[in-house]
Chain A
Amino acid sequence: MSALGHLSTPVTPEPVAARKGGRRRTAYLLLLPGGLWLILFFVVPLVSLVAASLYDPNGSIEAGFRMTWSFHNYVDAIADYAVPLGRSLWYSLLTTAFCLLLGFPLAYAIAFKAGRWKNLLLALVIAPFFTSFLIRTLSWKLLLGDNGFVVDALRTVHILGSDGRLLATTAAVVTGLTYNFLPFMVLPLYASLEKIDHRLIEAGSDLYASAFTTFRTVTFPLAMPGVVAGTLLTFIPAAGDYINAQLLGTPKQRMIGNDIQRLFAAGAYPTAAALSVTLMAAITVLVLFYVRRAGTEELV
């Protein structure tokens, strides 16, 4: 069930048997239907999104949009929405950090400490997926609510003031985001950790390394492909999310997704498309920078 897990490792299988000339054509035939679907409904739409971002902003759905190469849409969009855009990236950075912090111990415990319960625990990580994430996010509204026990407890130990709240704060939005994307961090991490040869870790402690040093110099570097895959699968979708900001936050926590959604719903396609493309570009730049730094080129 480690669905996302094997993202992180390059697949290099043994060739099955002697190859005949026709086998390459078979490969293309097998790829054709799915590949066509992705080209038609993933690549072509992206192109038309870029096209829509350059339409005349004065058009409307009823009157139609004219292609006027209005690069100015981008200037306007960025000028008007720089704050929610920056906030989205910041929130998803926080979310990714928390997911890594929480996901690593869980993935580690499942991979190394769970014994015969491994499969069951792994399945339990995926099980919450089946209860709609909107309902679960609504539940957080109740858990973090002003009369909930979390707020009570935090008030009792004076982390929160007597009238402090969690709901409608940045903390609530980031809690919700972390919650929603945690499984996407745990699964690739688990897949990487599970492949580690235990003898390497034992060797570390045989050579008088402390548990922490072994972790820092052996376990963590070996888990790096999982860390990269997990952080990407958390950071990217979190940056585009608007559900958590809408349900757990206030307009002050508004993310870029809220604006894109609102603009599309209002029919302001050129601005909305320009914002979407900007978000995608910002994410791509950050991801490329990060992947370069993390030194893992073999993402897939």
Chain B
Amino acid sequence: MTTVGRWIGRHLILFIGLLVLLYLFAPIFVVILMSFNAPKSKLSYTFDGFTLHNWAHPCQPFGLCDAVSASLRIGLVATVIATALGTLMAFAMVRHRFRGRAATNLFIFLPMASPEIVLGSSLLALFVSGGLGGRLGFWTILIAHVMFCLSFVVVTVKARLSGMDTRLEQAAMDLYATEWQTFWRITFPLVFPGILAAALLSFSLSFDDFIITNLNAGRTVTFPMFVWGSAQRDIPPQINVVGTAMFLLALILVLGGELTRRRRASRAR
């Protein structure tokens, strides 16, 4: 193979990669565009004209903002619980040897590898046979969300923990730090980025979940359920405002994180 061939080969794969990334982003451009849409009729879902009305009145469609707030509340509480429980499990998995460790590993992987419809329907079967069929709502959704976020937290924090240099902790112990001091001054700050990533992932999984939530929600309406409901009738453009806002928030977090990381890296040098 000639150098010219290699050059093409090298850039071809980058080019294809960028095309795939474009595929991932194509619908997001549509979401952003549609958030400025002024539909001619209630049933039209094509771009008919530009307006800022939707951004000025995001709560206009009845029930939309209640649904968003329900999703935010469930997402925040589920994230806190799942991140706390999952981080403890990750520490046990990485830092301790115990009987049944491999089995525990598989056990934690299983919920991630189960179809959502099965997870959702089995929880519903439990709630119904436990006589809670009529009391589905905030709490049953919360239970479900913590359940499916847990495994993702364990895997994310575990990845961070297992890549960590344990000699730093040993050094602290050698310098007469107690276990408690070592944990809070050395271990925790080093694991924190992993915990943060896990929390972000949990929140996005919870905020976005539809299939499991829909089965266990009773009369509570979350944001994805609102979207689903309106997809059967008319789709208010304000839905796209919420989608765009969430995306911008994620983008700011991502870019901000990247910037601080780079600044730190250059300062360290």
Q: Do A and B bind each other?
A: yes
- Name B24's contact: one of A24, A182, A279 (CB within 8 Å): A182
Task: Please provide the chain A residues from 59 to 114 with a CB less than 8 Å away from any CB of chain B in the complex.
Answer: 61, 102-103, 105-106, 108-110, 112-114
Residue of B nearest to A238 (CB): B115
Q: Are B114 and A11 in contact (CB under 8 A)?
A: no
- Name A15's contact: one of B97, B109, B117 (CB within 8 Å): B97
Q: Are B115 and A280 in contact (CB under 8 A)?
A: yes
Task: Please provide the chain A residues from 39 to 59 with a CB less than 8 Å away from any CB of chain B in the complex.
Answer: 41-42, 44-46, 48-49, 51-52
Q: Are A129 and B118 in contact (CB under 8 A)?
A: no
A102-B204 contact in complex given A48-B126, A236-B114, C-beta closer than 8 Å: no
Q: Check if A142 is an interface residue, CB within 8 A of chain B.
A: yes
Q: Check if B201 is an interface residue, CB within 8 A of chain A.
A: yes
Q: Are B128 and A23 in contact (CB under 8 A)?
A: no
Measured CA separation A243–B249 after assembly (Å): 25
Q: Check if B195 is an interface residue, CB within 8 A of chain A.
A: no
Q: Check if B147 is an interface residue, CB within 8 A of chain A.
A: yes
- Name A134's contact: one of B86, B124, B210 (CB within 8 Å): B210
Q: Are A13 and B162 in contact (CB under 8 A)?
A: yes
Number of interface residues of B (CB under 8 A): 109
Q: Main SS of the interface on chain B?
A: helix
Q: Check if A123 is an interface residue, CB within 8 A of chain B.
A: yes
- Name B14's contact: one of A6, A16, A42, A113 (CB within 8 Å): A113
Return chain B residues, CB-CB under 8 Å to A103. 20
Q: Check if A2 is an interface residue, CB within 8 A of chain B.
A: yes
Q: Are A135 and B227 in contact (CB under 8 A)?
A: yes
Q: Are A232 and B125 in contact (CB under 8 A)?
A: no
Q: Check if B4 is an interface residue, CB within 8 A of chain A.
A: no
Q: Are B115 and A279 in contact (CB under 8 A)?
A: yes
Return chain B residues, CB-CB under 8 Å to A242. 117, 211
Question: How far does the Cβ of B148 sit from chain A's closest Cβ, in whole Å?
Answer: 9
Task: Please provide the chain B residues from 219 to 269 with a CB less than 8 Å away from any CB of chain A in the complex.
Answer: 223-224, 227-228, 231, 235, 239-240, 242-244, 246-247, 249-251, 254-255, 257-258, 261
Q: Are B247 and A131 in contact (CB under 8 A)?
A: yes
Measured CA separation A267–B16 after assembly (Å): 47
Q: Check if B80 is an interface residue, CB within 8 A of chain A.
A: no
Question: How far does the Cβ of B269 sit from chain A's closest Cβ, in whole Å?
Answer: 13
Q: Check if A276 is an interface residue, CB within 8 A of chain B.
A: yes
Q: Are B210 and A143 in contact (CB under 8 A)?
A: no
Measured CA separation A201–B223 after assembly (Å): 47
Q: Are B31 and A139 in contact (CB under 8 A)?
A: yes
Q: Check if A226 is an interface residue, CB within 8 A of chain B.
A: no
1/0 contact trace for B196-229 toward A, CB 8 Å?
Answer: 0110010011011011001100000001100110
Instruction: Give me 16 A-to-B residue pairs in the complex whose CB atoms sit less than 8 angstroms apart, sorted by A's number.
Output: A3-B159, A4-B152, A13-B94, A37-B146, A37-B147, A38-B107, A45-B122, A46-B122, A128-B25, A129-B204, A130-B246, A139-B27, A232-B113, A236-B113, A257-B211, A299-B109
Binding site for B on A (CB under 8 A): 1-7, 11, 13-17, 19, 23-24, 26-28, 30-31, 33-35, 37-38, 41-42, 44-46, 48-49, 51-52, 61, 102-103, 105-106, 108-110, 112-114, 119-121, 123-143, 145, 147, 179, 182-183, 210-211, 232-233, 236-237, 239-243, 247, 256-257, 260-261, 264, 269, 272-273, 276, 279-280, 283, 287, 299-300
